[in-house]
Every structure is written in structure tokens, then in C-alpha cells.
Amino acid sequence: MKLYDYAASANCYKVRLLLAQLSAEYERVPVDIFGGDTLTEEFAAINPGRTTPVLEDPPGTFLQESNAILLHLGRGTPFLPDDPQVYRWLFYEQADVVPTMGGLRFRLITGRLAPDDAESLRRRAASYEVLELLDAHLAAREFFVGGRYSVADIGIYGYVHVAGEAGLDLQPYPALRAWLERVQSQPGYVNDLEPYPPNSRVGASRSIYD
Amino acid sequence: MKLYDYAASANCYKVRLLLAQLSAEYERVPVDIFGGDTLTEEFAAINPGRTTPVLEDPPGTFLQESNAILLHLGRGTPFLPDDPQVYRWLFYEQADVVPTMGGLRFRLITGRLAPDDAESLRRRAASYEVLELLDAHLAAREFFVGGRYSVADIGIYGYVHVAGEAGLDLQPYPALRAWLERVQSQPGYVNDLEPYPPNSRVGASRSIYD
């Protein structure tokens, strides 16, 4: 099993977290997404969408989209309960968490947006709506689905746990903060998400984000 | 089984299409999303994200997110093959198809964007990248996953089949156009997607999109 992987991507980190908790053996294939690695013909054959992560399992069979990988790896394990709410939260994550706080964090840290740009303000307001929804859901729940830790939590944790780096204040969301700590106390928890490197800066980057 | 439903939403139409092909009986509960129906406390209890569709099945149990509903309803039927590529395409649809051609079509038709706005040009360029990727995938395939019609096709069909209404030209994508026709020739195919009504116009609308 190979993971085409970027150390500073929270979408990739989600998969690494589940793999660690499954004690799965795999080979990490580093993809320098800001150094042009996803713009090659070779990478297009692995993922024409030119995103990471991609799981190769078995050799020659590629699975794209972080949350699709979570569902695939989680199958038959305690991390994937038999409840369609898991799907609901993973789709919500890609449609509402990633473009708001995930996209805002990336653009602020790498100089693609300034904090007072209209686009930043729009994404910040939308991020707070998402944080409020998540906090309300967790007010009477330990985890997102079925009372136990699952791939739904892993998916949402990816970008939410670094929302502060998007300039967002998590103080008003006590249930969400308690949940972050519960995730961090799970057996096998790891956090190897790295900071964005210098070549991710606007102007220095050669990627699909330019 | 109840479907909280909006006639002019392609996300809702995707679910109606699968339900028709499953010959499932259900009650449609119309939600006037531009008339303020999703802004109520009652609707927030059904979906705090204030989007449609929502499936109620069994009574009192609500499932949000169109593609989560497709996966849930497809389970145990020929429409959900045992292949994680189904997940891949459904996540891709929400992350890349909806914000590009889906969002562009909505904003142009309802006056939220003009064709030459920078945001329109950005979404148009991104839409063509998605159409090219979809067309390339279908060049040697009849359907998106596993050589047969599945919920992956239904998901992608929703906004792609009305891409022309976003001012996008499908002529350069023969494999995609042939696939649209294959979808339309499936047993039980229906198309009851309605045009956006007058109250969806910017200024006339009271919704989460204002």
C-alpha cells in the first residue's frame, strides 16, 4: 500500500491519522505539490484532478479523494460504523469545512489573501457558521456519529483542529474544543501535520493553486 | 419515507432520479428555499446546514447531503457497486462539480453574477477543467465506475446535464455527451428538474444565498 502524500496537507494528514490508528503498514510517497510534482503527466495518470492524497492499493489501483480513502480503509473496522450519518458528515466536511476554514488558512498563511480582503471576510464569516453548527452538534454528543470515534471525526478534525491558524477564535465553542481533546486522546493518535513550507508562498509556488 | 425537496435543485433531483429508478414510494415535502423556508427554527431541526435535500427515513431520522442520501438509498441495490471509486466520484462531485458549473449556473440565472464578472470567469475556467477531466475519464468507459450505471453517474449527472445553462459549451466533450445520452436511456429515467422560479432572483430571495 502506497500513499501519495503531502506532509503539510490536512487532507493527507487525515489519512495518515487513520492509518496510524489501524497500525497499517504503508509506504509514503512524498509529492511536492508546490514544487510542480502534481503538474506532471506521471501524476495526472495517478490523479487527473492533481490533488493529494492518493492511495495505491493494490499496486496499480489508485483511490483519490481523502474522504473516499477514509471510507475505504475504515471498512470492516470499528472506525466505520454502519450509519449513513458518517457519509453525511464527510460530505459536509468537503463541501463546507474545507472551502471555509481550510481554504482561508491556506490563503492567509501563504500570502494568497490578506486578512482584510473581502474574500477573507467572506470565508471567515462562513467559517464561523460552520464552527457554530459543529459545536451545536457536539453539545450533547461525544463524537459526530453514533456515540463513538469514527472516520467522521477524523475527517472533520483535519482542518478544524488548525482553524486557529486561519485567525479563527475557537473560544466560543466549548463543545468543539472538548471534542478536539477527545480526538487527541484516542489510542494511536498522531499529529504529523507539518507547516506550509517556503515554496507554498504565492510567487514561489508552481502548483494548481496558482 | 419523506424527502424534503426543492424542485429546482439539481442536488434534490439526483435523489428523485434514484428514487424513481428504485420504484420507491415516498412523500415529497416541498421546501421553498428562496422563500425563507430553510431559515426557520423548524427547518434547522431537520438540517442545521439549511440545505436540501433531506431524507426522513424512518420518521424522526434525518439524513442530509444529497450524495450521502444516494449512498444510503443505493445500499444493497445494483446502483451501488462494491467499489470505493463510487465514493471518489461522489466526493469529487461535491468538491469540484457543484462549486464550478453548479454555482456558476445558479448565480448567472438568478442575477447574482454577470457573465463577465471576474468570479464568473474564474468559475467558467474551473468548470472547463472539470468537464475535460470527466470527458477524459469517459473516453474509454461507458459509465463512471465498474462499467455500469451507478449512483456515481447519478451524482455527476445532476449538475453536468445542465452545464449548458451556465453558458458552458459541451461540444468539445464527445465522450461526456455520449454518457449523458446513456444516462438518459436508463430504465426508469426521469427528469423533473424545474427552472429556478422568480423568487430565486437576487433581491427577491430570502435564503442562505443572500
* Sequence-ordered strand ranges (E) for chain A: 2-5, 27-30, 54-56, 62-64
| Model confidence, pTM | 0.98
| Residue in B closest to A74 by C-alpha | B84
Q: How far is the C-alpha of B49 from the C-alpha of B139, rounded, in Å?
A: 37
Q: Minimal CA–CA distance to B88: which of B31, B150, B26?
A: B150
Q: How far is the C-alpha of B87 from the C-alpha of A185, rounded, in Å?
A: 29
Q: Which residues of A are less than 8 Å from B92 in CB distance? A: 49, 64-65
pLDDT tens for B69-79 read 999 999 999 99
Sort residue B147 into left (φ over 0), alpha (ψ -120 to 50) or beta.
left
pLDDT tens for A32-59 read 999 999 999 999 999 999 999 999 999 9
- The answer to whether B87 contacts A68, with C-beta atoms less than 8 Å apart, is yes
Q: Which residues of B are less than 8 Å from A64 in CB distance? A: 88, 92
- The answer to whether B91 contacts A137, with C-beta atoms less than 8 Å apart, is no
pLDDT tens for B98-143 read 999 999 999 999 999 999 999 999 999 999 999 999 999 999 999 9
Q: What are phi and psi of A9, to 5 degrees?
A: -95, 125
A207 Cβ contact partners less than 8 Å away, ≥ 6 residues apart:
A33, A34, A35, A36, A38, A39, A200
Give me the total of CB pairs closer than 8 Å, taking one residue from chain A and one from chain B. Answer: 72
**E strand or H helix at B17, and its extent?**
helix B10-21
- Residues of chain A with pLDDT > 90, as a percent, come to 100
Q: How far is the C-alpha of A127 from the C-alpha of A133, rounded, in Å?
A: 10
Q: Which residues of A are less than 8 Å from B96 in CB distance? A: 49
* Structural domains in chain A, sorted by start: 2-77+191-200 (3.40.30.10), 85-184 (1.20.1050.10)
Chain A nearest C-alpha distance from B100 (Å):
12
pLDDT tens for A57-83 read 999 999 999 999 999 999 999 999 999
Q: Which residues of A are less than 8 Å from B159 in CB distance? A: none
| Residue in B closest to A82 by C-alpha | B72
Chain B nearest C-alpha distance from A184 (Å):
26
Of A66, A84, A92, the CB nearest to B72: A84
Residue B210 has pLDDT above 90, yes or no: no
